[in-house]
Structure 1
C-alpha cells in the first residue's frame, strides 16, 4: 500500500464516506486539530519523569480516545452506514470526570489563577490543555455549520479540565510549587 494518494496535490483530502474536501474545510481542520493534540499527548508521554510515569497508561488511553474522536469528526454527515465510534456508552467523559475527581482530592486548594508551568510534565500538560481548548473551538466552529457527534465535543471539553488537574498533580509529585498569577483576585472559593 502506498502512503501517498496525490489527492493532496490539489489541496484536497477524502474523508470517511468518500466525500472529497479542501484541506482548509472546517471538518478537516477539526479532526486535524485532534490529531495535533494527540501528537502533543504523545510528546508528554515521552517526557514523563520517573515520578510522573504513573500517568503513562492513562495518557495512552486518552490517545486511543482521541483517535476515536478524530475518526468521528472525519465522518461525512452524508455517511449513514458507519456509526459513530465515540458514544455515551463508552463512558469516556465519565471516566475523565472520575480521574479529575481522583486527582483533585490529592491537590491543595487553588484560589487564584495559576501560571502554566512548573515541572517538565506539568508544563507539557498545560500545552496539552491549551491545544485542547483550541481544538474545542475548532469543533464548535464546525458544529455551527454541520452536524457533529456531540459526545466528541463533551469529551474534548472535559479533557482540558483533566489536563489542568493532571498538571497540578504532576507538580505535587515533583514537589514543585505552583506560581499564582500575581494580579489574580481570589477566583475559586
Structure 2
C-alpha cells in the first residue's frame, strides 16, 4: 500500500532527489529524465481515456481499447518504478521490474488491432478523429520517453552495481516496453480512424509529387 500523507517535503530544494533505493541524484540525471518523460506519457494517454467521456473524444475507441489503455497507464507506473530503482546485485526490498511479458502483451495487442487495417502506402498525419489525434500525441511523448531511457542506459549501462560502488544500471526492458508502446499507439490511432480513413501525407502539401515519381 502507498500512503501519501505529505505532499511537499523540501528535501529536493537543493536540486537533488531520492531514487527508489534512497540514493540521491541530481534532478537533471538522465535516469530521472527518463521516468519523468514516462510520467508525461502516462498523462497523455490519460487525456485519451478522459476524452472518451465526450462523443468527439470517444469516436473510434471501443471499450476494449479503453480497457487496454487503462492497463497501460498502470504499466507505465511500473516502468517509472523500474527506472527510478538502479540495478543492484541484492535488495533489502526487491523493486518492481518490467518483465518480458509486459513487452509480449503489447506485441500481441499490436497484432490484434493491426490485423484488419489496410496496408499503408504513405506516411500518416496526426488527425482524423479527435481520439486518433490524441493517440498520436501520446505516441510522440512515449517516443521521447524511450529516447530518454536509452540515454540513461548509455550513461549507466545494464549491470547491477553495489550501492557503495556508485550508480547502478538501468533495465533495458523498460526501453523495449516504451518502444513497443509507441508502435501500439500508432496502430490504435489508425484503428480509431478506421471509419474515416487515414489522413496521409501529401509531399509539399500537394504542391509537388512524391520523391521518385515521374510521369515520363
> Shared fold by TM > 0.5?
yes
CA distance in 2, matches of 1:10, 1:118: 46
Of residues 30, 34, 39 in structure 2, which corresponds to 1:30? 34
SS in 1 for 2:155: coil
> What stretches of structure 2 of length at least 5 have no aligned partner?
53-57, 157-168, 204-209
Q: Does 1:182 align with 2:202?
A: yes
Cα drift, residue 96 of structure 1:
0.8
1:68 matched to which residue of 2?
78
CA RMSD of aligned residues (A): 1.7
Whether 2:18 is the aligned partner of 1:14: answer: yes
TM-score in terms of structure 2 length:
0.79
Q: Tell me if the contact between 2:51 and 2:131 (Cα under 8 Å) persists in the aligned partners.
A: yes
Which protein is richer in helix relative to its size? 1
**Residue 53 to residue 8, structure 1, CA distance change in 2 (3 Å):** farther
> Structure 1 regions of 5+ residues with no counterpart?
none
With structure 1 as the length reference, what TM-score do the two structures score? 0.90
Q: Aligned residue pairs: how many?
A: 182
2:99 matches 1:87: yes
Provide closer, same or farther for how the CA distance between residues 101 and 114 of structure 1 changes in structure 2, counting only shifts above 3 A. same
Q: Which has the larger radius of gyration?
A: 2
Displacement, 1:35?
0.6
Aligned to 2:170: 148
Does the 8 Å CA contact 1:114/1:180 hold for their aligned counterparts? yes
Aligned to 2:159: none
**Alpha-carbon deviations, 1:105-163, whole Å to 9, x = none?**
12111121111111010001000111111111100100001121111111111111100
Please say if residues 59 and 192 of structure 2, whose CA atoms lie closer than 8 Å, have aligned partners that are also in contact.
Answer: no
Any idea what SS the aligned residue of 1:85 has?
coil
